[in-house]
Amino acid sequence: MKLSEMKQVLAANALRLTKSLGQNFLHDQNQLRRIIEAAQLSNCDKVLEIGPGLGPLTARLLERAGTVLAIEKDARLVKFLEGKFQVQAIPELPLDPEALSGGGLHLAHGDALDFLKTNQRNWSRWKLVANLPYSVASPILVELATGRSGPERMVATLQIEVVRRLTARAGSPDYGVLTLLVQLDYEPGGWFKIPAGCFFPEPDVDSACVCLVRRPAPLLPPELRGTFAGLVKRSFSQRRKMILKLLRADWPSPALEGAFAHLGLSAEARAETLDLEQFVRLTQILAANCQT
């Protein structure tokens, strides 16, 4: 769908876009092609698309993937998509993605973030490919990445500042809680910038598409994931303070000092200086030696 076609569709259907829903639709054909290439799709793939809008990415997903589950919050756009595509099923939320039968497009109306927050589902055989609504993009990625079984690959268009946080390394100003919560299970697989002029209407922020690939083996067992998340959040709660002092709110000093000594960490270390592996090892040592 080219920009001229998109404007015609909006006018013909009397659709006024809502800024609060993050309705900035990607129309540039080259950028859409790059997103599809990053997803590495085959006709055996199942794809979750959140926020399909007018369906320019949906159309390309249907050409490559076997099954597409699109979740759209705007009822007006759901109605438009029903008329535009041959919809195989219109499931109601909440739903079990593994229970969807048949290929093609399955179109659900509802709030994807609420669904993901309240329904832990198995997405391990799925890929996320989406131009996410920017207002909820980070929470959606965290819910999928930290769930019991996240998608094997996530290719998402986001604000460029969020992409930088997702792909950051220790020592970077962009490195923080979001980085670690997602990278615990996903390795950044590259990203590319998408100019504002590729969207309609043009967003006020710069955008980029990032590819996140699920790690072949988990770095922590399920029972330690909550401990890891709590430790990371406490460590970054006050970035300028030493991590050892901050963690004393949750852990006894002897256990912390022993763990820091074991890992060769300075007592004056701050959160942004510890890499993912060090946070994982700190979680393991503290969990093994004491309880919060």
Same fold, 3-214 and 222-289: no
CATH of 222-289, one of 3.40.50.2300, 3.10.310.40, 1.10.8.100, 3.40.50.970: 1.10.8.100
Flag the least confident range among 98-102, 127-131, 281-285.
Answer: 98-102
Note the pLDDT of residue 64: 96
pLDDT band at 18 (very low <50, low <70, confident <90, very high): confident
Write out pLDDT tens, residues 186-222.
999 999 999 999 999 899 899 999 999 999 999 999 9
Write out pLDDT tens, residues 123-147.
999 999 999 999 899 999 999 999 8
pLDDT band at 120 (very low <50, low <70, confident <90, very high): confident
Residues 283 and 232 sit within 8 Å (Cβ to Cβ): no
Note the pLDDT of residue 22: 73
Domain ranges in the chain are 3-214, 222-289
Note the pLDDT of residue 292: 47
Q: Which residue has the higher pLDDT, 165 or 15?
A: 165
Note the pLDDT of residue 156: 98
Per-residue pLDDT at 273 exceeds 80: yes
What pTM value is reported for the model? 0.94
Per-residue pLDDT at 35 exceeds 90: yes
**3-state per-residue secondary structure call for the chain:** CCHHHHHHHHHHCCCCCCHHHCCCEECCHHHHHHHHHHHCCCCCCEEEEECCCCCHHHHHHHHHCCEEEEEECCHHHHHHHHHHCCEEECCCCCCCHHHCCCCEEEEEECCHHHHHHHCCCECCCEEEEEECCHHHHHHHHHHHHHCCECCCEEEEEEEHHHHHHHCCCCCCCCCCHHHHHHHCCEEEEEEEEECHHHEECCCCCCEEEEEEEECCCCCCCHHHHHHHHHHHHHHCCCCCCEHHHHHCCCCCHHHHHHHHHHHCCCCCCEHHHCCHHHHHHHHHHHHHHCCC
Per-residue pLDDT at 66 exceeds 50: yes
Topology of domain 3-214, CATH: Rossmann fold (3.40.50)
pLDDT band at 161 (very low <50, low <70, confident <90, very high): very high
Write out pLDDT tens, residues 219-269.
999 999 999 999 999 999 999 999 999 999 999 999 999 999 999 999 999
Write out pLDDT tens, residues 85-97.
999 888 889 999 9
pLDDT band at 7 (very low <50, low <70, confident <90, very high): confident
